[in-house]
A and B are shown apart, each in its own frame.
Chain A
Amino acid sequence: MITSKFEFKSPKDVKEAVHLYGEFQGEAVYLSGGTDLVPRIKLGLVKPKTVIDLKRVASLTRVEDQGDWIKIGSLARIFDLKRNDLIRDYFPVFEASLEATSCESLQMRGTIGGNLLQNSRCLFYNQSELWRGTKGFCLKMGGEACNAVPGAKRCFANYCSDNAPALCTLSAEIELSGPDEDRRLNLEGIYTNEAAKPFNLRPGEILTAIFIPKKQSTGGYEKLRVRDAIDYPLMSVAFSLVDGTGKLAVGAVGPKPYVVEIKTPLRGAIGEAVEAVLKQVRLVGNTVLEPEYRKRMIPVLAERLFNKIMEGAK
């Protein structure tokens, strides 16, 4: 049951949605599929005064071939995208990450924009208000210290989008519409590297589209999870090879995907790329698996993925 009280708005275009947000500055949220947002509202992690539903904005669901780019509307559903011929033909890493996202009934509700802008997660954060209250509020809830690492003054929540690491390996860009201007930036540029507030979004901005360079790629995605049919990643590895240059991205081990470019995509280089990621991350006990195990699985999944891709390329 949702205990917080809010108004519900259903604008027909992006301009109207942004305008509505302005009327409820700071206390409105945008709703797409709701598979991340509604549970967050239920747990009291967000208490909006207004929910602005974007599903009636028809322009946000389209997939367009623009020649040099494939443009994907942010409200395109995960299930529809994984069956899209352009995505299947050009971006195997993305097809694999879409397939690995949750389960099919949630893929049919969840959108790509919502998947990218899902909030970071922690075993000590995604809990009911009562549960969290007994423990004392953590940094991500506005408290003084982390509950996963007692005494720590920074947040260790994990960003668990399956599709973000995949899209980073394809050098995807995103478009944002806001009250002052529209802007386009690299997907990697959206992350703050601060788990308590993971996105560089200005108030009122809507993620309207994702752009992927239309270049043939090879690649894949591997994901660690306990319940294979539905779970968020407990760690994941994405790899793509575009124009002879590889990119490896590791997800769900911190507040953003960790991306490393590989000029000469050979087995040894994959190991070096994994080492480069390991130097940047600090895994802690904030998921259902031990941090040491998740850490040790990064090179294992990276190698498994690389072998699978090389096998497919033969």
Chain B
Amino acid sequence: MERYKVKLQVNGETEELDVKPSETLLETLRDQLELTGAKEGCGLGACGSCTVLLDGIPTRSCIVLTAELDGSEVSTIEGLADGSQLDPLQESFMEKGAVQCGFCSPGMILTAKGLLDRNPEPSKKEIIRSVSSNLCRCTGYKKIIEAVETVTSTETTKA
């Protein structure tokens, strides 16, 4: 089977990859780059646990072929902190206890990050709509919504 050369920027690093045409971005991240933060849930784009930022946009990496992405930038949960300084969303998720089993957390945080990057002061309704497009099977949405709200009401993400 033919393989394809794909160049990606992943969390700021240039990665020159050799991929099968059928390889999904999620598989490339987890199996080739050992970035296991993004999780495989439904595998069909419905649950959002595999969400990463693709050119800044929250994207379900389980239904994107890596071969489609030559020249793109990918950010995963591993690249969100600045060294040991966590992103305000990560801090807020910890502070509010917005994590139960943790499986959905990377996708939730990056979906919220995508929302706040394009709309730093979303309404509660917008936050609910955004995070409920990702599934949390512990059903801990209340704390997750509070965690996102906390970040919008501080000055931290507005800089």
Contacts and interface: CB of A to CB of B under 8 A. Distances in A.
Interface of A: 1-8, 10, 31, 34-35, 38-39, 41-43, 51, 53, 55, 102-106, 108-109, 227-230
Given A39-B45, A229-B129, A229-B133, A8 B111 contact: no
A100 to B, nearest CB: 11
Given A8-B4, A8-B21, A105 B64 contact: no
A53 B21 CA distance: 11
A108 B57 contact: yes
Interface of B: 1-2, 4, 21-24, 27, 43-46, 48, 51, 57-60, 63-65, 67-68, 111, 114-115, 129-130, 132-133
Nearest to B27: A1
A239 to B, nearest CB: 24
A55 B130 contact: no
Contact of B44 (A3, A8, A31, A42): A42
A42 B43 contact: yes
Given A39-B44, A105-B51, A6 B63 contact: no
Contacts of B22: 2-6, 41
A106 B111 CA distance: 11
A31 B67 CA distance: 12
A275 B63 CA distance: 40
A104 B115 CA distance: 9
**Majority SS of interface residues in chain B?**
mixed
A229 B64 contact: no
6 contacts: A6-B22, A34-B65, A103-B129, A104-B114, A109-B63, A230-B46
A7 B63 contact: no
A109 B129 contact: no
B129 A7 contact: no
A2 B19 CA distance: 13
A234 to B, nearest CB: 15
Nearest to B24: A2
Contact of B68 (A1, A41, A42, A53): A53
A35 B132 CA distance: 18
A158 B4 CA distance: 37
Given A39-B44, A229-B133, 5 more contacts: A6-B22, A31-B68, A34-B64, A104-B58, A229-B132
The 3 nearest A-B residue pairs measured at CB: A103-B133, A8-B21, A2-B22
A228 B132 CA distance: 9
Contacts of A55: 68
Contacts of A228: 129, 132
A228 B129 CA distance: 8
B49 to A, nearest CB: 12
B39 to A, nearest CB: 14
B104 to A, nearest CB: 13
Given A104-B130, A105-B111, A230-B46, A51 B60 contact: no
